[in-house]
A and B are shown apart, each in its own frame.
Chain A
């Protein structure tokens, strides 16, 4: 079924309904972690390593311990003696059997492995007292050589973990035919070989991470409030690593101000708060500061990519060979090792290639661990192939648009269940229409004329037009596929739909919103399914006591897995209600029809009952069919049979000031296809935010480490997150190719913008500079870097 945008139905699938969440958010009624306080709570202050790699020789906590308001100061060694943990912090994705996974303790007992590693924790009555005491803890270190970059890790001269024999953590490959691939390269008419750097990014959600653990000493249970995307996973992992029984732990994610992957981890602070609160019988809390986050929250990207393309004389691809060196950072966190592999299946992009080979090596460095960040592996993949395709187009001497058309899967015609060279099946796709629409929206023909005019006039402000035609893999994930990839958990999602006695509906969502608008979208699904007003629907989520089962929100999975579970649970409620209606009508269930929320008997329209009226019948249970259980409540755990593969075309337009090197993004056009859309306004919002995050990588953001592996720009003054002022008004449109993976025909869209935009922007920057013979530009394309490239291309400084 292909759903087009519905402007008549105010609240069903396809409607641009305003978000239910926004009233609470804009009036400040929403409670974030820092808004929640309990009597007697203690603040943690973290004493963090200032060295990237060192052995702790002594820690003097005496001055700190005697400061006002300080309850205690505990070092890693003392905590180790207290027997608080059953296991180190978890890594759920050991990608190979021999992957190295050095222990990651919440507080380091002996050797620190990155700046920001916790060496001691202060507990104090206030945040200020904790911060004052942290300053008084004196730590002495014996410095060890630090591994400050991927290149240094590969050199293996210094070891990030001295008890490992190499910095290499694993090698992972999909190389079905290495000899055939090599033969294709040997026979190629054209080849390009590119080296791209995916710089490290700081996720910088608007709300920093924070945690509050509240024990109930008499009850024996403990509630962990955390600014997390993954309350369910956190609960399981806390039980597994602390030994506190799972049935004693409740996890609540209050309003969460953005995550982008950075809040899907199992962090030292969360574990510490839980075990200390449990041991002390007092509430324990912590909120990271912005600068602290550079060492206390995982970072994104961090790869060197080697991409080789081979083609025939016409630019038709004959082989793609990719080698990635991925920076794990200091430890394997929840999905650190798997993150680069999430892109592994996509390095051929939207193009057919007879030969394909992908290898990834993971490397330890003495830097903050990496893990998922919006797109997680897929922005890197689409950047690599889309940048490399432009470079191939220069080599072949044809237009970047034309080279894409020549290589599209199935010749750009629609397809379903296409097997890619890595052995997975793309659910559905139709690539040409997004390209045609984007070219038309951006008026690329007109822009090319303007570009030529500026070149002819020798203007110092040159135009660049960049294209990206991406595909991504989302809707994570079929549990068996995850098992095959050695991921520890499944990929299903759970939902319960309850028709209450008064006819209102309660939806229990296993996926966990942190800004996406689940309450709105789930209400719209129920509205269409059950024929009721979305105002009659309440969504319960983000609390393991209200929503005991779930696998949370990441990987653009909420709608394509969780939303589908909700629609399936609604179907089950309707089916049971149909039996009650049939019983009331004294008709056979198969004769009872359901339209617009009402049941009626085929052929006798006078007999009719609205589904909301049956809530009370099911509740009172006075007159139900023989043997039927009371109440209308149904649940579904949906395990998707496949991933979903959204796609689209983005066009970026930049103006490059050749004298200063300044790059201004002056136009952005995005045509995305995420299948059927539940709320097109929410889709556009996701695309806007995603595009900005990718453009930010292209032009602004980079976590810069010095030779001693210190981060040099942890504050938002130096780590340049762009604002609306730097962005053009983004123009969006969509095509609709329904997914074949799920009954709603939906795909995800949470990461698509980021996956498409970095390549589009850099392709545009390079396009502007082509007259200088420039073929590539490192990210971020800073003014100094751009100016230097122009100078170098013209034989030195001018």
Chain B
């Protein structure tokens, strides 16, 4: 242990602690920008400088380790002068149009400027990057280089965590530019739209591609506007509206959506259950008929695009099932249209997702038929939270609503789709009972839960051993996929989610870190535990749609509506 003094307070911390954490232990928050709690230290912004007795220059708190007896001052005159200068240097390259910025009110830079009482002129020549145009080319992520402060947080997550490497850096010093190589637009790169860079960006340079305006206009259009909400949404929306991470708000989300003017509110848990029926059956068929194994889940459209781009030779391993969003989209415009006696043309179908890649999925040509789209618009949790605020709805005071029929019920199995390991666990619950004909004693497959990057397990399915793996975050997926490609993967069934933590870590959620993620994950399993039905095949709405419309899992009609195909996108890498 090391004892030091920070702003006159003695504090004792572990050896190797940074001044930033030591200050925090002493109850002092030092401002940071390039620092991110889940990333390695970059120390390039210097806003965190502090004064250390005996050191000639100021030290960046985020990268300076504590030493015994150190005397640190975090808010001396010298520190304030230096920070002021740093802020000016940042603002010399930053378009300060907070009013028109997506991050207005949630921006880390704006908060620092406010704390520091930034009311003075910038003494440096002002040179804003870019040509004043935003890059709107990606349906998932919007990039505004005029806001970028070169902190490298996006670069780090895209390259190190996701290993997609869509973002590059160019030049050095003042000319540094973080973004796609050769100034390309995001749509011209290998970007898979996961939105993890949006989660990492401290400012308004990378934001969710915003589709609010279109949805607002459709709410008044006279069409029937239906909406589905994904499992993760109910555990992250309250957080986006200022409540604690992990607060469950299913009933309030439903009421809020009705208030906004959505005609029908459906539960994506229903189509998650449908996914389990289809995927479980597909898996059993592959086992029986010698199909491509391991079979890999296909619920995460960011992962799908990653596989199409970097592992095209492994596409036969992907389950042909659409994601729950995709399945629901098709069901709404066919089965539901019939049920409600509507022309599909007169239904506008929205989904609320934790995921930016779902915006891309909805635009894929495979997701529609007879000239109409299955999903007309995808809103992320962030966008819905803003709509609720705009409508002046007091979210905390809402009464609990219930989902609309004919998809009113979802199971606990659908609920846990939101977390890494959830799809696997949900599938195991159903597959086990189908294969053995026995009732599962213990529904909790805890070995596939938690935040380990790659989780492995083996289960006995009525005498047949099934080996499974679960990976979340594309860096972890890459490890598993290298083994699959080399033919060395000793698995039968793999779940892959593009985002760290699964959908609760999706790019469209409120900005997060691992600490918040674990609160969200707890909430997911709390929800599952509390539900009367926890197995997909026991969901009465699912049983009904098979009886009335789809006949049986993997039937011809199921294939037409609920399954899809993939394309080789490796060209873009070459």
To the question of whether A and B form a pair in one complex, the answer is no
Measured CB to CB, the residues of B under 8 A from A are none
